[in-house]
């Protein structure tokens, strides 16, 4: 089976005041379709940077990356935007919901904006996704009227709106209490199992990571081990 994502020799350096800081140093790994993978590592290990590069929010300094068979490491800004819109979903540590919109509008937003219209079909899919994450009774609530856990569930539903092949979650439970964190994690696993959506979840919580198919351990910008 062709891998969904193939990361080869990815290096990322930041230069500030002529001082180079290498955050990633020759990272190699691949993801198969339908996998639920945890990216584990201590703070500063390069988890978020790697996730940003895989999410096409950041360009690597060197290396190659194939997503769905296409080389994507050196795409230009508009190509990366189009790729993100079509194939990727994001869940961040902070939910980043749009406060002036309802839960349903937030979920439908990634589909409506590129087409510049909100259709009935989008509304229906958003409602269905909110139902899937257990928020069917809150679909028309403003995001400001939801609890932290509910907001993160909306963020998960939003990440799935465009039926992405790969969802990237950067510390998705980091701002939640333990129980709610587990609920959100279980929700992502449930979606992964039911729909075959691939998840790459960055976390430093081993109990969250235990719920994934396998774990990629990152240390000092390199893959330390995979278990």
Partner 1 sequence: MFQWQVAWRYLTSNLLQSALLIAGVALGVVAFVFITALINGLAIVLTEETTGSIAHITLEPQVRVAPVLTDQSDYAATPVSNSQRRQIRDWQVLVSMIEAMPGVVAVRPEIDGNGFLVRGEAVAPVAIKGIEPEKLSVVAPIADSIVSGRADLSAGSLLIGTQLAGDLGLGVGQPVILRTERDRERLLTVGGIFETGIASVDERLAYLNLRSARPLFELPDGVIQLSIRLQDPADAETLAPALASLTGLHAVPWQERNRNLEDALAAQASTGSLIQLFAMVSIAIGVASALLLSTYRRRSEIGIMRSFGISRRFVAMVFVIQGLLVGLLGGLVGALSGYALCLWLYSIRQADGDPILPIAPDQGGYALVIALTTLCAVLAAVLPARAASRLDPLEAIQQ
Nearest distance, CB of residue 85 and partner 1, angstroms: 3
From candidates 21, 28, 32, 113, binder to partner 1 by CB under 8 A: 113
Backbone angles phi, psi at 35, to 5 degrees: -85, 155
From candidates 23, 72, 90, 130, binder to partner 1 by CB under 8 A: 90
Judged by CB under 8 A, does residue 100 bind partner 1?
Answer: yes
Nearest distance, CB of residue 12 and partner 1, angstroms: 12
Nearest distance, CB of residue 90 and partner 1, angstroms: 5
Nearest distance, CB of residue 133 and partner 1, angstroms: 18
Nearest distance, CB of residue 92 and partner 1, angstroms: 6
Stretch that binds partner 1, among 16-24, 26-34, 74-82, 190-198 (CB under 8 A): 74-82
Evaluate whether 132 touches 191 at the Cβ level (below 8 Å): yes
Judged by CB under 8 A, does residue 145 bind partner 1?
Answer: no
One-character DSSP codes across 3-59: -SEEEEEEEEEEEETTEEEEEEEEEEEEE-TT-EEEEE--TTSSHHHHHHHHTTSS-
Judged by CB under 8 A, does residue 123 bind partner 1?
Answer: no
The pair of three-digit structure tokens given for residue 87, joined into one six-digit string: 């194939």
Judged by CB under 8 A, does residue 82 bind partner 1?
Answer: yes
Judged by CB under 8 A, does residue 199 bind partner 1?
Answer: no
Stretch that binds partner 1, among 1-9, 112-120, 128-136, 178-186 (CB under 8 A): 112-120
Evaluate whether 197 touches 165 at the Cβ level (below 8 Å): yes
175-184 long-range contacts (CB < 8 A, ≥24 apart) are: 175/93, 175/94, 175/95, 175/148, 176/148, 176/149, 176/152, 177/148, 177/149, 180/148, 180/149, 180/152, 181/205, 181/208, 182/207, 182/208, 182/211, 183/149, 184/149, 184/152, 184/153, 184/156
Judged by CB under 8 A, does residue 42 bind partner 1?
Answer: no
Write out the residues near partner 1 by the rule CB under 8 A.
52, 55, 57-58, 77-78, 81-86, 88, 90, 92, 94, 96, 98-101, 109-110, 112-118, 162
């Amino acid at each position: 089976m062709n891998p969904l994502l193939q990361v080869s020799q990815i290096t990322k350096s930041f230069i500030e005041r002529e001082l180079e800081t290498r955050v990633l140093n020759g990272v190699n790994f691949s993801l198969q379709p339908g996998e639920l993978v945890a990216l584990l590592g201590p703070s500063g290990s390069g988890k978020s940077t790697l996730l940003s590069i895989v999410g096409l929010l950041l360009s690597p300094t060197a290396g190659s990356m194939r997503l769905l068979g296409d080389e994507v490491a050196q795409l230009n800004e508009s190509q990366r935007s189009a790729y993100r819109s079509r194939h990727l979903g994001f869940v961040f540590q902070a939910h980043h919901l749009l406060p002036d919109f309802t839960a349903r509008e937030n979920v439908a937003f990634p589909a409506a904006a590129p087409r510049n219209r909100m259709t009935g079909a989008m509304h229906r899919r958003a409602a269905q996704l909110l139902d899937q994450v257990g928020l069917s009774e809150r679909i028309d609530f403003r995001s400001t009227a939801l609890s932290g856990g509910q907001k993160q569930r909306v963020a998960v539903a939003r990440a799935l709106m465009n039926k992405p092949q790969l969802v990237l979650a950067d510390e998705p439970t980091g701002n939640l209490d333990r129980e709610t964190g587990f609920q959100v994690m279980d929700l992502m696993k449930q979606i992964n199992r039911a729909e075959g959506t691939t998840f790459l979840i960055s976390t430093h919580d081993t109990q969250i990571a235990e719920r994934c198919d396998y774990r990629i351990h990152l240390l000092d910008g390199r893959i330390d081990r995979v278990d």
